[in-house]
Amino acid sequence: MTGRPTFGDFANAARGLLRHDPGTRDTAAGHPTHTARAGTIEEFTRSMASLLAVMDRYCADITTVLATPARRDEARLPGTWPYASIQVQEALHNAAAFLPSASLSNIRPGDLHDDPAVRRLDAVAAVLAAGRDLLHTHVSTRPDGSPQDSSEWAPVATSEPVTRALLLELGLWARRTAEHGARIALPGPAARHGTSTEREQLNTACQWLWMLDSAVRVAQHHQPVSAADVSLLHAIPVNTPEPRRIPGGTETIIGLCRGATSTAERIRHAATIHPVDPKFSPALTTDSLRHTATCSTVISHNCEILLRTLATRARQHGSEALADRLLGSADRANRARLAWLHTARAWYEVTSDTRGTIAPNAAETGDLALWTGRLAYADPAWTPALGPSHPTRTPEALAPKPGDLPTVVAAVHQATETLTQIASADHEQIQAAAQARRLLVPTRSLPDRFDIPHPFAPAPPDRIETLLVAYHNARVASA
């Protein structure tokens, strides 16, 4: 749903480079191979060693997930993925032992070999290194050295099903690398310059890569990795949100869904990567919290409209069961709207020690209200200020074909998941802000027994509890 680079972009690029037959055409350079010099076996093996170094780093990540100490017994059973991960690691180390030592520092942009096969391996190593870097953007390291999730994709990137899919990819890379290496090692009239020892060592390294692939194939036979798990691995995006965008009024339904999705991801990303410290941050203001609650009310209402419209469209296509489920979701979206409306009203008599500003992340909830509203309403210039009294899109306009329904449902899901996380994050912020005595109420609103010679006083526990209950209910309703 977004235009960010994904792991699949790098994995597919590596597959394409390794699929190329070096005896036909140099796709990496775009020239026939007869125009390029056939290098020595030593040059090829050094590039191959760099590629295996990258694969070894992947393997270290894989064994961290699959071959943990707690799974030591399973790692001894052939046909299991923990066993395969150990076998793959040993095969890589054995293959590398027959090649010259090399490192990624040898791969420099612009430093191209004349030999297309060498250049291709260097390109694969660089592409796969970038793919691993992409996966690691979702996990950071705590001061004590332990891993820490840095995004909502982190549990996916480090999950066992996706890690198995990654090991399956590693087996494919190794097999195709071995095929290239075995052709290079063949003697003959057109063979590259190299000693018989160099050919023998390269061939032995390739044999270990084929053994690596065999270990992966055995595990795949006994415990198959599903196509859905491979697709999920390929869908993991880089942990950098798209730039902030506002609808211009000319977007298609697909464009509006993408805009809503990217905006929802931006909001969740900011909450995960740049959380506000409620004890000190001037960004925590009642203006921000009230604005977020108000926009969340609008977003919930827009999602209700979208779900009811989709339910009508599903019924037109003869899917009564789907229509009933969509109507059930629409009813829940209505309950979320009422919960967020109650939450916004709870701020009428509570304020904070800093006022008058709306934090950027809070402002983007207004963007999400705009994107979902442009989806829900027929007016391409609709804004939240116009209110809900405008005509909504017809079912035929929102989802012309049955296959369009999932796209809109996905956008609704992204929006409501964001509201759920907003409610949880704001609930925690309110608790911390109350402990720091940053939440205030007008003194005149307190009982007469409170003799406070100031216009505002720290919010009493019952007012704080009212806010916390409101956010809890909003979270439950949004979920």
Last residue of a domain, one of 204, 235, 266: 235
CA dist., res. 329 & res. 334, Å (int): 9
User: Mind listing the pLDDT tens digit for each residue in 285-294?
Assistant: 888 899 999 9
Are residue 330 and residue 231 in the same domain, yes or no? Answer: no
Do 264 and 223 fall into the same domain?
no
Give CA–CA dist 479/475, Å, rounded.
6
Query: What tokens appear for 82 in the block?
Result: 């923990």
294 and 193 together in one domain: no
**Is the per-residue pLDDT at 22 higher than 80?**
no
Q: What share of the chain in percent tops pLDDT 90? A: 61
Q: Is residue 329 part of a domain?
A: yes
3-state class (DSSP) for residue 123: helix
Residues 116 and 170 reside in one and the same domain: yes
Tens of pLDDT, residue by residue over 427-478, are 988 888 888 888 877 665 555 555 555 556 778 888 899 999 999 999 999 9
Question: Which pLDDT band holds residue 103 (cuts at 50, 70, 90)?
Answer: very low
Question: Which residues 6+ apart lie within 8 Å of 331 measured at CB?
Answer: none
Confidence of residue 276 (pLDDT cuts 50, 70, 90): low
282 and 210: one domain? no
Is residue 242 in a domain? no
Q: Is residue 114 in a domain?
A: yes
Q: For strand 439-442 and strand 456-458, is the pairing parallel, antiparallel, or unpaired?
A: antiparallel
Residue 66 falls inside a structural domain: yes
pLDDT digits (tens, 9 = 90+) for 160-201: 999 999 999 999 999 999 999 999 888 765 566 778 899 999
The Cα-based distances of 172 to 150, 182, 212, 390, 395 in angstroms read 29, 15, 10, 55, 45
Is 240 contained in some domain? Answer: no
Last residue of a domain, one of 201, 235, 269: 235
* Same domain flag for 231 and 263: no
- Rounded Cα gap, residues 2 and 8, in angstroms: 13
pLDDT at position 477? 95
Answer yes or no: is pLDDT of 355 > 90.
no
pLDDT of 444 reads: 55
In DSSP terms, 351 is beta-bridged to 440
| Cα distances (Å, whole numbers) of residue 427 to 210, 270, 319, 417, 420 | 54, 16, 39, 16, 11
Is residue 334 located within the same domain as residue 448? yes
Work out the pLDDT band at 14, boundaries 50, 70, 90.
very high
How far is Cα 388 from Cα 329, in angstroms, rounded to an integer? 19
> Is position 2 within any domain?
no
Report yes or no: 376 and 384 within 8 Å, Cβ to Cβ: no
> First and final CA of the chain: distance in angstroms?
21
Q: Which residue has the tokens 């010679």?
A: 453
Q: Output the six-digit token pair for 372.
A: 């979902």
Same domain, 192 and 281: no
What proportions of the chain, in percent to the nearest 5, are helix, strand and coil? 65, 5, 30
**What pTM does this model have?**
0.76
Q: Are residues 281 and 199 in the same domain?
A: no
Sheet containing strand 456-458, strands side by side: 351-352, 439-442, 456-458
- Mean pLDDT, range 348-354, rounded to an integer: 80
Question: Which of these three, 235, 264, 285, is where a domain ends?
Answer: 235
- Do 32 and 83 fall into the same domain? yes
Kindly report, residue by residue over 30-78, the tens digit of the pLDDT: 433 433 456 688 889 999 999 999 999 999 999 999 988 888 777 788 8
Q: How many CB atoms lie within 10 A of CB 384?
A: 18
Kindly list the distances between the CA atom of residue 69 and the CA atoms of 72, 159, 281, 387, in Å, as whole numbers in the listed order. Answer: 5, 17, 42, 58
Q: What is the pLDDT of residue 418?
A: 95
| pLDDT at 150 (0 to 100) | 83
Residue 241 lies in a domain: no
Q: Which of 14, 96, 18, 83 is closest to 57 using CA atoms?
A: 96
pLDDT of residue 256: 96
The total number of structural domains in the chain stands at 2
Question: Which sign does the torsion angle of CA 273, 276, 282, 284 carry?
Answer: positive
- Whether 247 is covered by a domain: the verdict is no
* pLDDT: which is higher, 201 or 105: 201
Model confidence at 100, pLDDT cuts 50, 70, 90, reads confident
pLDDT for 278 equals 60
Residues 343 and 195 in one domain: no
The confidence score (pLDDT) of residue 275 equals 56
The pLDDT score that the predictor gives to residue 356 is 72
Query: What is the per-residue pLDDT across 111-166, written as a single tens digit (0 to 9) for each?
Result: 455 688 899 999 999 999 999 999 999 988 877 777 788 888 999 999 999 999 99
Q: Is residue 412 located within the same domain as residue 351?
A: yes
Give the range of the structural domain holding residue 402, as residue numbers without chain letter: 253-478
Please state at what angle helix 360-376 crosses helix 253-273, rounded to 10 degrees: 160
